Amino acid sequence: MIAAHRWEECHPKPLAESEVPFPDVSFPSDLIHTRQDVLSGIGYTVARFAAEQRSLNDPDVFAAVRALAETRRTLGSGIYYEKPPEIPVAAGLYAALASFLDQEKKHAAEHPEFPAIKDIEIFHLLVFFARFARLRSNGRPRTRAFIAFLHSQFPAEAGVAKEEPRIIVP
C-alpha cells in the first residue's frame, strides 16, 4: 500500500479543467509570496485539525475551504453570507480556519507596522489553497493524500521539547 502511494506521488494524473476549483478566479502571483505567512497558517491549521480529527479526509478539506472561500468572496462585495458545510467534521474545519483568519486580521489591526490583510486577499489565498490541495490529492472519495502532504510539511514534533529520560542512573 505504501508503494502504491509513492507511485501515485511520482505519477500524478493531470487535473481536468472541470475539476479546478474556482476556474473563473485569477489573482496576482506576488500575493502568494507577500502573504506566505497566512498561507502557511492555513496549511498548519488544517494539519493540526486533521491530527485531532482522524475522520477528516481530503474531500472534507475541499468542502471547508470552498465554503470559507465563498464566504470571503461575498464579504468582499459587502454582503455577509455564511454557509458552512453540512458534514460535521468539515464544518469543524471551517470554524477552525475562520477563527485563524479572524485572528490574523486582529493581529494585523493591532500592529500597524504590518500591512492589513483584506478580505479579497484572504479569498484569493483560499482559492490558491483549494487548487493546490486538489493537485496534491489523488481524487478518491476517502483519500488523505493532501492531509499526509501537510503532515510532512508540519511535523507534529516540531516545537515540542524532548522529554528527559525518567531513569536515573547512579
Read off the pLDDT of residues 108-139 as tens digits, 9 standing for 90 and up.
888 888 788 888 999 999 999 999 999 888 77
Q: How far apart are CA 60 and CA 142, in angstroms?
A: 9
CA 151, 93, 90, 55 dihedral sign is positive
d(CA 72, CA 125): 10
* pLDDT value of position 161: 47
Cell of 71: 464566504
Cell triple for 167 = 531513569
Nearest to 61 by CA among 78, 80, 47, 41: 47
pLDDT at 112: 82
In angstroms, rounded to a whole number, what is the distance separating the alpha carbons of residues 64 and 46? Answer: 10
Report CA-CA distances (Å) from 135 to 48, 70, 165: 21, 20, 43
pLDDT tens, 43-72? 999 999 999 999 999 999 999 999 999 999
> Looking at residue 112, what DSSP letter applies?
T
Domain boundaries, the chain: 30-153
**For residue 51, what pLDDT is reported?**
92
Residue 14 pLDDT > 80:
no
